[in-house]
Amino acid sequence: MDIIVNQALIVLILIFVRFSATVLLIPLFGARNLPVRLKILFSLMMTFVFFSTGVYRMTLPIDRFDGLAMAVAFEIVNGMTLGFVVMLIMNALYIAGFLIDMSMGFSMANVVSPTSEAQVPVTANLFYIIAMILFVVSNAHHAVISAFSRTLQVMPLGDLALNPLHVESFFELVKETFIIGLQMALPMITIILIANIILGLLSKAMPGMNVFIVGMPFKILIGIVVLLMIMPLMVAAISGLIARIFDYIARILQLM
């Protein structure tokens, strides 16, 4: 009886560690402005839900403290693998916002992100807020929890699921993150480039015009107008970005 109780307690601990590591990196659940006690309570609640609704297997029975410590370390890596996929895809929004702000002249005007409490570009923060709204409206947070439940079935508790194929997939994900961010920012970069060409032609036609004084507000005005015009396309692109998260999660699970 004691062995059964101990093994059940170990399963609870490992599920809690894996879920907590996943929540730590997911933008919505891992926001710094959320109280730590609330995060712990949510992780404990979900741990008991997973524990009571499934039967999970461990690679080897754990009956020593050093074995438990190693299993906990493995579960931290396993949980962060899932959270890292979500976080990395969402970073495409920061890349797009940074490139847009650089072209518009907002590179020095950073704001404090309400989730990470770090200084981020203005446009990137706007995209991130829109992404969080779409993340909740589309029930993507439910899909993340469902994907985590799938990892409990695929990945045995106490085992390290990370392998060289995962590392290759992560490098490919990093590459696609930069490509997606550049694609989102490319329309704005093109418009601002055309605006700079127009300013160059005007400076040649009117040598007395101070391009530096006129150019900055002109680029900001053009950038804001164009950004408002293409905002529906940006919202659609962010929705596609959120849908792509689960494609990569499914790909990672297939390699486990």
Confidence at residue 5, expressed as pLDDT on a 0 to 100 scale: 44
pLDDT at 4: 43
Which tokens go with 128? 């991130």
Distance between CA atoms of residues 229 and 226, nearest Å? 5
Q: So what's the pLDDT on residue 1?
A: 40
- Summarize pLDDT for 25-79 with one digit per residue, the tens: 887 776 777 777 888 888 888 888 888 877 666 666 666 777 778 888 888 888 8
User: What pLDDT does residue 61 have?
Assistant: 64
CA distance 215 to 205: 15
Query: Would you say 80 and 25 are in contact if contact means Cβ atoms under 8 Å apart?
Result: yes
Domain count, the chain: 1
DSSP string, 155-192: SPBTS----HHHHHHHHHHHHHHHHHHHHHHHHHHHHH
Domain housing 165? 2-254
pTM metric for this prediction: 0.76
Low-confidence ranges of the chain (pLDDT < 70): 1-5, 30, 55-63, 107-118, 162-166, 255-256
The Cα 86–Cα 88 span in angstroms is 6
Residue 145 three-state SS:
helix
Q: Give pLDDT, residue 115.
A: 62
Q: In the chain, which residue ranges form alpha helices assigned H by DSSP? A: 2-25, 36-52, 65-104, 122-137, 140-154, 164-205, 211-229, 231-254
- For position 117, what pLDDT does the model report? 63
Q: What whole-number distance in Å separates Cα of residue 217 and Cα of residue 35?
A: 41
